């Protein structure tokens, strides 16, 4: 499963707890995962069984003990094998908003514009958030120069997608104008 490789990738960066893995995946625009916490812990156990990760327990006095996972050499080999062997997939194009918008042709242009405004607000917020994460170099510490560059480019990809969506909204609005004037 892809979640296994996402976890191996995160652990190649630094040792993490299951909770840390969940938090990084949850906060990332490109490590998309929609499962529950149980899946992360099950994946970690499977990776442990295969010898791709190890764990050590960090004892704490005033909090529950932590299991900290680290990637093994065979785990790094498996990650590299997967990265270099898989063909890139065509991106999934699932946007609930487009399905919603598909039936908006029956609405008054002003109502369609209201939908666009709500989507524009979301995309503007996403754009600002991802630009700020990139500026602060969130999830960049302790990376090599090449890894740092790769993560910058991943954030750029998401930023460009947001910018393209905002341009599309503007084009949509310009086209919608003819229905306000002409009909």
pLDDT in tens, 45-74: 999 999 999 999 999 888 889 999 999 999
139 contacts: CB under 8 Å, gap ≥ 6? 13, 24, 27, 28, 133, 151
End-to-end CA distance of the chain: 52
Note the residue count of the chain.
183
Burial of 142 (0-12, 13-18, 19+ CB in 10 A): exposed
Give the global pTM.
0.71
Per DSSP, helices labelled H in the chain are: 2-13, 18-27, 37-49, 73-85, 96-102, 109-136, 145-182
**Which residues make Cβ contacts (< 8 Å) with residue 103, sequence separation at least 6?**
none
Average pLDDT over residues 175-182: 78
* Rounded Cα gap, residues 67 and 55, in angstroms: 6
Residue 95 pLDDT class (50, 70, 90 cuts) = confident
């Amino acid at each position: 499963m892809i979640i296994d490789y996402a976890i191996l990738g995160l652990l190649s960066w630094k040792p993490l707890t299951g909770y840390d893995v969940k938090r990084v995946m949850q906060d990332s625009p490109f490590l998309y995962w929609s499962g529950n916490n149980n899946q992360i812990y099950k994946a970690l156990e499977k990776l442990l069984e295969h010898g791709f990760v190890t764990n050590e327990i960090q004892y704490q006095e005033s909090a529950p003990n932590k299991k900290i996972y680290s990637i093994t050499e065979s785990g790094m080999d498996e990650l590299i094998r997967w990265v270099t062997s898989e063909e890139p997939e065509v991106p999934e194009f699932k946007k609930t908003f487009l399905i919603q918008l598909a039936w908006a042709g029956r609405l008054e242009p002003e109502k369609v514009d209201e939908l666009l405004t709500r989507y524009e607000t979301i995309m503007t917020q996403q754009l600002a958030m991802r630009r700020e994460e990139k500026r602060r170099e969130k999830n960049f510490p302790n990376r090599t120069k090449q890894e740092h560059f790769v993560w910058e480019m991943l954030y750029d990809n998401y930023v460009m997608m947001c910018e393209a969506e905002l341009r599309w909204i503007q084009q949509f609005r310009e086209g919608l104008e003819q229905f306000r004037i002409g009909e």
